[in-house]
Structure 1
Amino acid sequence: METRVTATQHRQTEPARATLGGDTQSRKEQVALALFILVPFAAVLAAVPVAWGGWLGWTDVAIAVFMYFLTCGGVTVGYHRYFTHKSFKPNRPVKIALAIIGSMAVQGPLVRWVADHRKHHKFSDRDGDPHSPWKYGESIPALWKGMWHAHIGWLFDEEQTPQHKYAPDLMKDRDLIWVSKTFWLWVLLSLALPAVIGGLVTWSWQGAATAFFWGSLVRVGLLHHVTWSINSICHTIGERPFLSRDKSANVWWLAIPSMGESWHNLHHADPTCARHGVLPGQLDASARIIWLLEKAGWVSDVRWPVKERIEARLAA
C-alpha cells in the first residue's frame, strides 16, 4: 500500500530553521548588516580624535581589551575550531558558553557562520568559495576587487549558504538552534555589557558612555576587520610552509589580534588540528585556551598536532 506523506508531516521531519534568516538574504537583513558594519567602523575611525580629546581612561582600556579577547575567543575557539571543525569535544555548559560568547562577537548567528566556513573549506580559492580574494582573477586590479569581496563584499551576497547541507549536525542540536535563533539577544548583551560595567565602576553616565564607545563599538569594529582579514589578507600574502590545495598563508603580524588564526596555512593543510601555530615561535592563544579547558576536564578528545602528520604536510 502506498503511503502518502502530508506537507505538515514532511515539515515535522525537517530540522527547525536555525537562524533568523533563510537561504536568501532579505533587503532588511542587508540593511541591518550594513549598520552593524558601518557604525563600529565609524567608531574605529573616530577613536584617535576621541582619545586625543580625553575621552579614554584606563577603565575603558581594560573593558575594551577584556571584551575583545573574550569575544574573539568565542569565534576562534568556539565558532571556528569546535563548531566548524570539531577539534575537541566540550561538555554541555562549555558548548553553550562558546556558542553564546561567539555570538557576542556580532559576526552572525552560529549555524550560518559555520555553514559559510565549511563551504569555504570545501571550495577554498575555487569556484564556490564564498569569500576567495582570487574570485576575479590574478591581475592586480582583479586581486584588489577580490580582496574587497573576500573582506566585506561577500557578506551582502543575496544567496546564502544552505544550512541544512553544510551544518546538519548543528541543526539537530536544540541548544545550538536556540542560541542561533536568539542571536540578537546576545548582540544586545554584547553591546550593553561594557556600558553597564563602565557605569558601575566609575559610577557615572560618562563612564558608561565612554565604555560603550570603546568596549562595544570600537571593539566590535576592530574584531570584525581582524576576522575578515583572515579571509582576505591570509589568502593573498604571507608564508606557505605547508602544502595545501589553496593559497592560504601565514601572516605573523595578525597572530596576536586574531588569537592564532592567522597561522592560516597549517589550518588549511590540517583543518581539524586544534593548534594552528605549530612551528617554533608561533603564538596561538586559542590553542592555549583549549589546553586550559582540557586541563580543567571540561573538554576532551582534543586533536593536537601529531609530529608525523605535520612533517608530512611540510612543503619541500
Structure 2
Amino acid sequence: MSATQTAEETEHSGGTRRPKPIISGRTSLPEHITVKIFVLAPLLAIAVAVPFAWGWGLSWVDIALGAAFFVVSGLGVTAGYHRLFTHGSYKANRPLRIALAIAGSFSAQGPVTTWVADHRRHHAFSDRAGDPHSPWLFGTSPAALAKGFWHAHMGWLFEREITNVDRFAPDLAQDRDIRTVDRLFPLWVVASFLLPAVLGGLITWSVWGGVTALFWAGLVRIGLLHHVTWSVNSICHMLGERPFTSRDKAANFWPLAIFSFGEAWHNLHHADPTCARHGVLRGQIDISARLIWIFEKLGWATKVRWPTASRLTRLTARA
C-alpha cells in the first residue's frame, strides 16, 4: 500500500485512529523570501528572454545545454520525485534512487521529502478542502476560477503552511539516503545553475558563452520547467478529457504531454495513482514511462506497476 493510499484511507475509512495534522507549521521569513526568489527569478528570466535573444545572446550551445538540463531535471521530477518517491510505481536500486533524487533537485522545486509530502497531500484531498493547489477551492464563477487558476498554478507557493511530513512522507523522512540528498538541496540548486555556465564557457572557450549558458540553460530552463510542472496542477485540473473515473476533476491535456514527459495524461493518473504509465491510450506518448521501461530492462528497476487491460476496462466502465 502506498503512502498516498494510507492517507486517503485515514480520511475516508471512518476508523477510530485520529490522523496527524495536515500542517506542521509555517515557513520562517528567510525561507519564505527564498521561495519567492526561486519562483520569481526564473519567471523574470522568461520575461526578458525574447528581447535578450533578439539578434544576440542565444547560441546553439545554449539551446543544447538548456534542452539537456531540461530533460535531466524534468525526468528527475516525473520519473523520480513523482512516480518513484511519491507513488511507489516501481522499485529502484540504490544508485538509481539517489541519482533520480539529485536530478529532481536540479529542478529547484524543493527537496524530495517536501515535494512528496505536498503531492501526497494533494492526492489525499484532491480538489477538496486540504488540497494545497486545487483550482476549484474558491467556487465556479469566472472570478473564482481566475483566482483558482492563479492559486493552483503558483499562488499556493507563496503561502507559508508546511505540509506535515510525519503524516504524508514518513518513509522518506526515515530514509538515510534521501535525508542526505535533502540536506544538500542548496548544493544541487547551485550546481543546476553553475554546471551549464561552466560547460557553456568551456565549449565556447569564452566568458560570454558561460554567461549566456547560465541565463538560458540555468534561469530560463528552470523557469520553463517550473511552469510546465505547475500547469499540471492548474490546467490539467480545469481543461481536457476525462476518459477514466477519478474522485476529482483531473483531466488529460494533450498539448502539455511532451513537455511534461507524460504527466499531462493526468486523468488516468488520478484514477490509478500508482500506475507507472499515465499515457495508456493509443497515441498517448509517455516519455517518463518509457524511461522506467528502460530502467526495468537494465535491471535497475523492479516491481513496476504497469497498467493491465482488466484494470483499464474497470476504470473506463465506471467513467
Structure 1 residue aligned with 2:288: 286
In structure 1, what is the equivalent of residue 214 of structure 2?
212
Contact kept? 1:24, 1:160, Cα under 8 Å:
yes
Give the superposition deviation at 1:243: 0.5
Q: Which runs of 5+ in 2 are unaligned?
A: 1-23
Q: Which amino acid aligns with 1:281?
A: G
Q: 2:223 aligns with which of 221, 236, 259?
A: 221
Q: Look up the match of 2:13.
A: none
* 2:88 counterpart of 1:78: no
**1:306 is matched with which residue: 299, 303, 308?**
308
1:160 aligns to what SS in structure 2?
strand
Superposed CA offset, 1:44-84 (max 9, x none): 11111111131111111000000001100000000000000
Alpha-carbon shift at residue 160 of structure 1 (Å): 1.1
- Measured in 1, the distance between the counterparts of 2:260 and 2:226 equals 10
Aligned-partner Cα distance in 2 for 1:87–1:23: 30
2:163 alignment counterpart: 161
The Cα offsets for residues 204-253 of structure 1, whole Å up to 9 and x where unpaired, read as: 00100011110000000000011000001000111101000100000000
Between the aligned partners of 1:44 and 1:158, the Cα distance in structure 2 is 25
Match of 2:45 in 1: 43
Amino acid in the other structure paired with 2:196? P
**AA partner of residue 184 (structure 1):** P
Q: Which residue of 2 aligns with 1:133?
A: 135
**2:103 counterpart residue number:** 101
Percent of pairs with identical residues: 59
Three-state SS of the structure 2 residue aligned to 1:23 is strand
Q: CA RMSD, aligned part only?
A: 0.9
- Structure 1 segment 1-316 matched on structure 2, within 5 A: 23-314=25-316, 315-316=318-319
Following TM superposition, where does structure 1 have runs of at least 4 consecutive aligned residues deviating by more than 4 angstroms? none
Deviations 1:150-178 (A, max 9, x none): 11111122221100110001111100011
Asked if the contact 1:111/1:171 (under 8 Å) is kept, the reply is: yes
Distance 2:272 2:31 in 1: 34
- Could you tell me how far apart the structure 2 residues matched to 1:159 and 1:42 are? 25
Q: Read off the aligned partner of 1:91 and give its amino acid letter.
A: N
Q: State the alpha-carbon separation in 1 of the partners of residues 160 and 61 from structure 2.
A: 41
SS in 2 for 1:219: helix
**TM-score, L = length of structure 1:** 0.92
Deviation at 1:140, TM superposition (A): 1.0
